[in-house]
Structure 1
Amino acid sequence: MKESLFVVDFISGRLNQILFAGWQHFSLVAQCLILATVLAVAISVLVYRNKKMVSVANSVSAVGLTIPSFALIGLLVAPFGFGVVPAVIVVAFYATLPILRNAVVGLSGISPAVVEAARGIGMSRFRTLLRVELPMAWPVILTGVRVSAQMVMGVAAITAYALGPGLGGFIFSGLSRLGGANSFESVVTGVVGVVILAVILDLLLVGLGRLTTPRGIRV
C-alpha cells in the first residue's frame, strides 16, 4: 500500500516529464513502424514471385530476430554515437522483420487465379499489385505490424541504454541506483508507461485495420 502511494507521489511530482518521455517513446515507435512497413512491403514486392528470394527474406527475418538488441545498440554506438540515431536504426530494424515475413507470406498466398483474372480484364502488373494483391495481403501485413508494434515498444525502452528518447530512461535510471531513493518508483513508472503505450498503439492499429481493410475480405 505504501509503495503504491510512493509511486503515485513520484508520478504526480514528475507528470510533465513523464508525459513528454511517453510522447517521445510513442513517436519513436510509430515513426519507425511507418518506415519499417514501407521498407518491408517494398522488399516483399521485389521478392515474393521468386521462391529463392522468398526463402532468403524469411531466413533474414528469422536470423535478425535472434540478434540481441543490447548487442546491436552497442555496435551502433561506435559509428553513430549516443542519442536518437542508433535508437531509430535499432527500432526500425527490429520492426521491419515481422512485417517483412508477413508481407511475403501475404503476397505469396494470393491465388494465381485471382491475379490472372485481374490481368485478364486488362489490368497491368503494377495496377494488379496495387488494386488486387496488396489489398488482399493487407490483413496479413497488418498482423505483422501489430506484432512489430508490441515487440519494438520494449526495444525502444532498451535504446535508453544509448541515451535514446522515451520511457526507458526511467527504467535504466531506477535500475542504476536500485535500493536508493525513488529507484523502485522510477522503474515501475517506466515499465507501466511502456505497457500502457503498447495497449494504446495496438488499439489504434485495430482501428486502422477496420478502416483500411476492404469490406469483402474483412473477417
Structure 2
Amino acid sequence: MWRMPSTGHLCLVMERIQGLDLESAWPTLTKDDKSAICARIKMSVDYLRSIPPPGYYGGVSSTKLPHDFFLDKQGNKEICGPFQHNSDVHAALIKKLRMIYAGTGNVDHITAKAIYERHLDTILGVHPPVFSQSDLQRKNILFKKTVDSIEVAIIDWEAAGRYPSYWEYAIIFCSLQWNDDWPQYFEDFVGPWPNEASAMRMLYQDLWF
C-alpha cells in the first residue's frame, strides 16, 4: 500500500486467490486432507514466527496494535501502543477494561475486576514479540487441491502485528466453539498455550461482552 504524492490517492495492491474457505469445507474433508492443510498452515505460522523481532509489540512499522482489544478512539498510547515491554501489553488490556466499565458507571464492577491488575501480568508471563496474523479462523483460510498437493492461503490481515508469542493461540481459543475437531487441529499447527489462553478467555468475556 502506498500513497501517490502527485494526487494523494491511496493505492492498494491485492491478489484474487481462488479456492474454498476452510470453514465451509471442513465437514466434508477427510482426515488426510485436514492433516495436509494444517501442515501447510503450520509452515506459514512457523515462517511468521521466524521473522526477527524489531524489539517492540505493535503493528507494522512500529504503529499501534491493530486488534480491537487495543482500540481507543482518543489514541491513548497506553492502550493502543506500540509497546516496548511485555508487561505494557498486559497493562493496556487492564486499562481498556477499566475504560469500558468506567463508561458504565458501575464502580463495584470495576473494583471486582481489580483481580486483573493484581495477577494478569503474572498469569500471562513474559513472552517475546512475534509476528502474528491474529485472526486464524477457518473463514480466513483458503485452500485448493491440485493433482500433487494442497495449496493454502491465509487472508484478512487487518489485525496482524507483533504480539506476545502466546497471542495467536490464545486469541482464537477465546472464541472456539468445541463442536467438532477443529480445536485439536488448530492446536497442532499453532502450538498450545493453555494457561495463557484460559486467562485470556476470561478477560475476553469482560472486554467483548
If the length of structure 1 is used for normalisation, what is the TM-score? 0.28
More strand by share: 2
More helix by share: 1
Asked which structure has the greater CA Rg, the reply is 1
